[in-house]
Amino acid sequence: MNDSPVTPDNSHTIAELIRSQLNQFSPAEMKIVNHLLANYPMSGMVSITELSESCGVSTPTVMRTLKKIGYSSFTTFQKELKDELQQTLSDPITKHDQWAADAPESHVLNKVAETVTTNLRHSLNQISHEQFDAIVDLLAQQERALHIVGGRITSAFARYLNTHLEVIRENVHIFPEAVALWPHHLLKIKPDDVLIVFDVRRYEQDLITTSRLANARGAKIILFTDQWLSPVAGYADHTLPIRIEGKSGWDSGVVTLFFAEALVVALEEKLWSQTSERMRELENMFDLTERFKKRTE
Amino acid sequence: MNDSPVTPDNSHTIAELIRSQLNQFSPAEMKIVNHLLANYPMSGMVSITELSESCGVSTPTVMRTLKKIGYSSFTTFQKELKDELQQTLSDPITKHDQWAADAPESHVLNKVAETVTTNLRHSLNQISHEQFDAIVDLLAQQERALHIVGGRITSAFARYLNTHLEVIRENVHIFPEAVALWPHHLLKIKPDDVLIVFDVRRYEQDLITTSRLANARGAKIILFTDQWLSPVAGYADHTLPIRIEGKSGWDSGVVTLFFAEALVVALEEKLWSQTSERMRELENMFDLTERFKKRTE
DNA sequence: TTTTTTATGTAAGGTAAATTACATGTAAAG
DNA sequence: CTTTACATGTAATTTACCTTACATAAAAAA
């Protein structure tokens, strides 16, 4: 066990100080520190009474927690928090651009955040709600078997989507990893089945071929691709052109995942009556197999 | 009593409200508003006693001044100031949410977009640049072998990260899909190796055990988890607590992927001199295997 | 099982803060 | 030279908060 819980305190924000001890809190104490970190630092800028009520614990518990963290009283804790906030606000160059993405030479995190939100905005403008809804409607028809396939990089998204859709509806199948097995899997695709394809540059020959053949067998094709459109678009019934541009050449997959996730949410809402039972069963499975840690809440 | 000059209040910060009335204050009142504006807004985040002392006036004078400005009591004044500050702090990335959270019954796409950007914002506030940089530094040490593992849902992210890191540096290994093979893979982990673990709720027993054992073998552990922290945090050297909350119960993975991607970008920048050669080789491979469509541009 | 420890809440205290009431002083108006 | 209105401080009251002491229940150890 790597104990060393009390590392020499070089954390210069209270948040870091708390996080460095996150493993040594009791349940009630966890409620408190979670709430503190949740919308830091303003969550701490209230009276101890208010704070304790927001957390659903008693005020002495708050006191004890703060003592544990290293403050002799609530008052001194809040004073330090206030100082830290003061520092942050009055030091715009160093600290404030931790929150502001507009600084020209900013941290990587901010640059990537900026890029991703831009991509998201453009993609949302590009894809109409009707188009999206049409896809959801198609996926809601459970008599159509659903197949999912992705490429070298996008196969991760294919898996992610598969894992979630499997919970929501039946008849969901993902293509095997080995490309050599794809022709075999193609045989399972019947007319009126649905095939979801992820293909962003660089477009892969196997995906193109597979889509063409699936199309020939009468399958509906939904395509997740980038703004330059994969050749698969020629066979697709629904194409989602997603902006994947990264600043210096790299491609971002975040927005692609976003749309996959939105699809899951929309479908779950639509099928809820039929789905809830399915999810309950799954919960039971999890409980029985004990693969998961029991929830403490 | 000067009730008349109450202009229709379209100033939405308290500072503006004060400035709009700067001509109607008595000397003692001037001391107060000047001090308030001087280092706004933190000057107002103290007790009325403290505030009055800083200004060299009495507490009732402060009260009267605030009443004049338009607040019924010091308490309500401070509450509004607090709200304003909160607003400022939680509005860094998206200045004005273009996708309107204000539409009550908006389209799923907008709701999910709102959720995701909120998650992103909170996570960025939660994770310090130093912490992130420390992780990048660790991953840049190529003499340390790098192992990646994820759970039921997060294994998709593990794969995504693996695919990208493999391009950037050598000595990257992902855990096999079958959990039964994990103990075997554990044997490959040497002291000073690095293990990246993805574990969001529901936390998986196998991941916890694996992390414990890897830790015992002397490996450094980097953990991607959610705001409630996987138990793996107890063994981790670096923990990224990422907000994954979805509106109606579902968990979002988009921000988790964001941080994985940011890690890739940062590492690529850092290792560029050593990496570029590697990437050129990869390009050649792609050309040779003809798996990809030739670029037409 | 019994005992001890740990976790957490209830209640009471003392204290500081916010608000109100009153008093004093200053400056302009009669 | 009053008188009145305004400006501001002192003091008293009430309210809310922080803190400590004690009690209880659950968990761990014996």
Q: What is the mean pLDDT of residues B172-189?
A: 95
Nucleotide with C1' nearest the A62 CA:
C8
DSSP string, chain A: -----S------SHHHHHHTTGGG--HHHHHHHHHHHHTTTGGGSS-HHHHHHHHTS-HHHHHHHHHHHT-SSHHHHHHHHHHHHHHHHT-TTTTGGGT-TT-TT--HHHHHHHHHHHHHHHHHHHS-HHHHHHHHHHHH-TTS-EEEEE-TTTHHHHHHHHHHHHHHSS-EEE--SSGGGHHHHHTTPPTT-EEEEE--SSPBHHHHHHHHHHHHTT-EEEEEEETT--GGGGT-SEEEEE--B-TTSPBP-HHHHHHHHHHHHHHHHHTHHHHHHHHHHHHHHHHHHT-BPPP--
Please check whether strand C approaches the CB of A28 to within 7 Å: yes
Can you give the pLDDT at residue A291?
Answer: 59
Using the predicted structure, report yes or no on whether residue A90 has a pLDDT greater than 70. no
Q: What is the mean pLDDT of residues A158-173?
A: 94
Asked if B258 and A254 come within 8 Å (Cβ–Cβ), the reply is: yes
Can you give the pLDDT at residue B224?
Answer: 97
Q: What is the mean pLDDT of residues A19-36?
A: 84
Render pLDDT for A182-236 as a digit per residue (tens, 0 to 9): 999 999 999 999 999 999 988 899 999 999 999 999 999 999 999 889 999 999 9
Asked if A204 and B269 come within 8 Å (Cβ–Cβ), the reply is: no
Q: What is the mean pLDDT of residues B35-61?
A: 88
Nucleotide with C1' nearest the A46 CA:
D17
Using the predicted structure, report yes or no on whether residue B290 has a pLDDT greater than 70. no
Can you give the pLDDT at residue B111?
Answer: 81
Mean pLDDT of chain B: 83
Can you give the pLDDT at residue A24?
Answer: 82
Render pLDDT for A64-88 as a digit per residue (tens, 0 to 9): 999 889 998 999 999 999 888 887 7
Could you say which of A39, A124, A206 has the minimum Cβ distance to residue B99?
Answer: A124
Q: What is the mean pLDDT of residues A19-35?
A: 84
Nucleotides of D under 7 A from a protein CB: 6-11, 16-22
Does residue B108 or residue A99 have the better pLDDT? B108
Using the predicted structure, report yes or no on whether residue A288 has a pLDDT greater than 80. no
Determine which of A40-44, A159-163, A273-277 has the lowest per-residue pLDDT on average. Answer: A273-277
Asked if B205 and A291 come within 8 Å (Cβ–Cβ), the reply is: yes
Confidence of residue B4 (pLDDT cuts 50, 70, 90): very low
Asked if B291 and A16 come within 8 Å (Cβ–Cβ), the reply is: no
Confidence of residue A3 (pLDDT cuts 50, 70, 90): very low
Q: What is the mean pLDDT of residues A123-146?
A: 91
List of chain B residues whose C-beta atoms are within 8 Å of the C-beta of residue A46: 82
Using the predicted structure, report yes or no on whether residue A158 has a pLDDT greater than 90. yes
Render pLDDT for B248-289 as a digit per residue (tens, 0 to 9): 667 899 999 999 999 999 999 888 887 877 777 777 776 676
Confidence of residue A18 (pLDDT cuts 50, 70, 90): confident
CA distance B237 to chain A (A): 9
Using the predicted structure, report yes or no on whether residue B294 has a pLDDT greater than 70. no
Q: What is the mean pLDDT of residues B174-191?
A: 94
Please check whether strand D approaches the CB of A47 to within 7 Å: yes
Q: Highest mean pLDDT range out of A268-277, B73-82, B97-106, B153-162?
A: B153-162
CA to C1' distance (Å), from A74 to D20: 14
Q: What is the mean pLDDT of residues B235-246?
A: 89
Query: Can you say whether residue A257 is alpha, beta or left, with left for phi > 0 and alpha for psi between -120 and 50 degrees?
Result: alpha
User: Could you tell me what percent of chain A has a pLDDT over 70?
Assistant: 85
Can you give the pLDDT at residue B175?
Answer: 97
Render pLDDT for B116-149 as a digit per residue (tens, 0 to 9): 887 888 788 778 888 899 999 999 999 999 999 9
- For chain B, domains (ranges, CATH) are 14-89 (1.10.10.10), 125-289 (3.40.50.10490)
Mean pLDDT of chain A: 83
